[in-house]
A and B are shown apart, each in its own frame.
Chain A
């Protein structure tokens, strides 16, 4: 670990913290239908979209209608992507004449991008045409991010409203998020990326003749436009196989900082939106503080683990100097070094982004374990755009419930009584997640010809590869221990369901909770009310998140990364 590494971490934290309030206020204004400085330009386009789509903007929905709209839109947009993939050989913008995508891979990819996961079983530069990348995949980067924000704001409305049957209009929330937030930010961000060297063209691949006289075919394409929304929407699906490690996706240390900022900016801002819309700014900051504690702890551990030399390698300079980084450089890029690679890995798994600038499969056992735990905590440490906020609000409900049990009173949350139905929905959310992950992992670990045959590494690390895949899918993260060959019929189909269940089955309890909370009357706070701001609450919230995930996943982790770490230190290789 170096002083400069910590300086980069500190700089990132400062920039992020400075953005929270302005971003949070802007998001609140957009989602409450207020005027913003972009309104003169965008309001006519907004009205045109409502007209073309037959949306009655003034009409509010109850939670069931809202959920049906989410499901209907997800289904239709998923079918569109599937169709584009299957037909790409007949469609324009395919200068490399790539063949149609096979049915199981097309299913997996359509599910993956619809659910904001962006798990990639394929090598994009040799599989997906430019049209598929732009209209089939990058569109979902916008849509799935907007869906996440819509569901989160529906839950906030549920908390805020009293005796109300409705929680907003899904189509209005979608349209305003896309038009006022994601699209303008993407246009500016994409051009900034181009300045730094990210390509943006529709040309065929170029063949170069190298200084030593060899031919090198250089894949390119409309990279920058996809790159920015891939990070801002916490999607993570790379234009190239190496994702943000590829010098075309992430050419400079500055783009690296910009990318990790884009991952966290909306999830962090939404905590302020929560505080502002519910009239309790202290609560928003307390939630943000809990996220920050877990984020800082994760980064510290990964950075520490990755800075260690490999004990079984001799004769190499692994201790580091002013002009060379120390530690584990397998699967990392020189321009990022250990610090910026560790920071990126922590952030991309804290948020459900899943872009990578280094190969997690080659991380040290403990570094790899922390990024896996980040996903296992339920993608609530900042989390995906929207999904991180509604995820952590479920944890908040449970924390308040546990506090209520301890003092023996009916728990309250921002003036709402938390009753049996609310806790049931929250527990459903919490239980679906490990149920999907652990049962699918168990099934594939027990199947030698289907599950184990895809492994790239043996021993305990092999178990971690499979566990990571299903955790990443259900958590809608999309990063991978990428040695695992997941482009097989069984993995493609199973991971497709893994991602859909992890997204849609978890959104429905959230919307049910939102609908139920909205109908309740407000109760004034009493001396027995557990305060949901301040450091005591932050500690309780962190405790609930850590204990819940530790109890669920510790057995699996002890057989994977923990065992690998102990055996590696005893000199055992596989």
Chain B
């Protein structure tokens, strides 16, 4: 029995050093040297050094001039230190009331068209950077009007920003909201 404890302690310490420090530090070293952009969180940096966000994370957009991401349950919304969903059940009164309220609000500004479901449901992470192409097209009239652009110009921009399924099969077609909004700002210039 004595030797079991002794071996356990020694084995724990030796392998903890190997797996708990050696391995992650090795991977960090290689990753930072070879893929610094991804290893650093795919941050978007302006020429003056300001970080405006990460390519991979949703950020809040409320102005009519921008496309809006999906609603977020991360912290008080789009909090990248408190990811998560609502965890409300399909049978939850709170959930159905919230979704129906959002639908009615959106429909008032865009009557007659059914609201894409992803635009009124919170994502699992609260940081989902994407919306479906339908959800982007749905917002075109509002954005075009706020920017005094033709709907066609904005619609073309949306079409250019669609990321197809990866390798033609995997996942779903999607649009990165931050990338779309940056392209929109460039278009206006």
Across the interface, which residues of B come within 8 angstroms of A49, CB to CB? 11, 14-15
A186 close to B87 (CB less than 8 A): no
Asked if A316 and B23 sit within 8 Å, CB to CB, the answer is: no
**Does A208 touch B at the CB level, under 8 Å?**
yes
**New contact pairs (4) apart from A200-B31, A216-B78, A247-B125, CB-CB < 8 Å:** A142-B19, A316-B117, A323-B134, A564-B89
20 residue pairs of the A-B complex, CB under 8 angstroms, read: A49-B15, A54-B7, A68-B1, A138-B20, A143-B15, A187-B23, A200-B32, A206-B43, A210-B52, A210-B60, A218-B54, A225-B23, A247-B56, A253-B171, A323-B173, A324-B118, A332-B121, A362-B87, A482-B87, A573-B92
Q: Is the CB–CB distance between A208 and B116 below 8 Å?
A: no
Question: Are A315 and B107 closer than 8 Å at their CB atoms?
Answer: yes
C-beta contact mask, A433-473 vs B, less than 8 Å → 1, else 0? 00000000000000000000000111111000000000000
Contact with A along B81-99 (1 / 0, CB 8 A): 1111111111111011001
Interface flag for A201 (CB, 8 Å): yes
Take A54-B7, A198-B38 as given contacts and tell me if A335 and B53 are in contact as well, using a CB distance cutoff of 8 Å. no
Against A, the Cβ 8 Å flags (1 = close, 0 = not) of B53-96 are: 11111011111001000100010001111111111111111011
A333 within 8 Å of B (CB atoms): yes
* A residues 11-43 in Cβ contact with B at 8 Å: 11
A178 interface contact, C-beta 8 A? yes
Name the CB-closest residue of A to B59.
A210
Binding site for A on B (CB under 8 A): 1, 3-16, 18-21, 23-24, 26-28, 30-32, 34-35, 38-43, 50-57, 59-63, 66, 70, 74, 78-93, 95-96, 99-100, 103-104, 107, 114-118, 120-135, 162, 165-167, 169-174, 178, 181-182, 185
Question: Does A195 sit within 8 A of B, measured CB to CB?
Answer: yes
CB neighbours (8 Å) of B100 from chain A are: 313-315
Q: From B32, which residue of chain A is reached at the shortest CB distance?
A: A201
A368–B38 Cα gap in the complex (Å)?
34
User: Which A residues touch B38, using CB under 8 A?
Assistant: 194-200
- Residues A45-97 near B (CB distance < 8 A): 49, 52-55, 65, 68-69, 72-73, 75-77, 80
- Interface segment out of the listed A102-110, A352-360, A497-505: A352-360
Chain B hits for A428, CB < 8 A: none
Among A134, A203, A216, the residue within 8 A (CB) of B40 is A203
Q: Could you tell me if B81 and A205 are in contact, using CB atoms closer than 8 angstroms?
A: yes
Distance from B67 Cβ to chain A, minimum over Cβ atoms (Å) = 11
Answer yes or no: A245 CB below 8 A from chain B CBs: yes
A201 touches B28 (CB 8 A): yes
B137 to chain A, nearest CB (A): 8
Whether, in the assembled complex, A526 has its beta carbon less than 8 Å from a beta carbon of chain B, the answer is: no
A191 CB to nearest chain B CB (Å):
6
Residues of B within 8 A of A197 (CB): 38, 42, 55-56
Tell me if A225 and B27 are in contact (CB < 8 A).
yes
A208–B53 CB distance below 8 A: yes
A382 surroundings in chain B (CB, below 8 A): none
Most chain A beta-carbon contacts within 10 A, residue among B18, B63, B83, B96: B83
- Minimum CB–CB distance from B164 to chain A (whole Å) comes to 10
Contact A340/B125 with A325-B118, A334-B70, A457-B91 known, Cβ cut-off 8 Å = no
Which A residues fall within an 8 A CB radius of B?
4, 7-8, 11, 49, 52-55, 65, 68-69, 72-73, 75-77, 80, 123, 125-126, 134-136, 138-139, 142-143, 171, 174, 178, 183, 186-187, 190-191, 194-203, 205-212, 214, 216-220, 222, 224-226, 240-242, 245-248, 251-254, 256-257, 310, 312-318, 321-337, 340, 356-359, 361-365, 456-461, 481-483, 564, 567-568, 572-574
The verdict on A245 contacting B123 (CB below 8 Å), with A138-B24, A198-B38, A313-B96 known, is yes
A201–B35 Cα gap in the complex (Å)?
Answer: 11
Contact A183 B83 (CB under 8 A): no
Please, which residues of chain B bring their CB within 8 A of the CB of A460?
A: 91
- Give complex CA distance A169, B168 in Å: 48
Q: Which chain B residues lie closer than 8 Å to A330 at the CB level?
A: 85-86, 88, 90, 95, 99, 121-122
User: Contacts A254-B170, A317-B134 given: A125-B81 contact, CB under 8 Å?
Assistant: yes
Contact, CB under 8 Å: A247 / B11? no
| With contact pairs A197-B56, A222-B27 given, residues A126 and B82 touching in the complex (Cβ less than 8 Å) | yes
Whether A317 touches B107, Cβ cut-off 8 Å, given contacts A242-B84, A568-B91, is no
Q: A52-B14, A222-B28 are in contact. Are A361 and B53 (CB under 8 A)?
A: no
Task: Report Cα–Cα, A257/B169, bound state, in Å.
Answer: 11
Query: B21 contacts which of A68, A134, A310 (Cβ < 8 Å)?
Result: A134
Chain B residues near A323 (CB-CB < 8 A):
132-134, 162, 173
**List of B residues within 8 angstroms of A191 by Cβ:** 27, 30-31, 34-35
Q: Is there contact, CB below 8 Å, between A313 and B81?
A: no
| List of B residues within 8 angstroms of A333 by Cβ | 123-125, 128, 130
| Shortest Cβ gap from B175 to chain A (Å) | 9
B174 proximity list for chain A (CB < 8 A)? 334-335
Chain A residues within 8 Å of B51, by CB: 206-209
Bound-state CA distance A43–B148 (Å) is: 69
Specify which chain B residues have a CB less than 8 angstroms from the CB of A321 in the assembled complex.
134
Q: A282 → chain B, closest Cβ, in Å?
A: 33
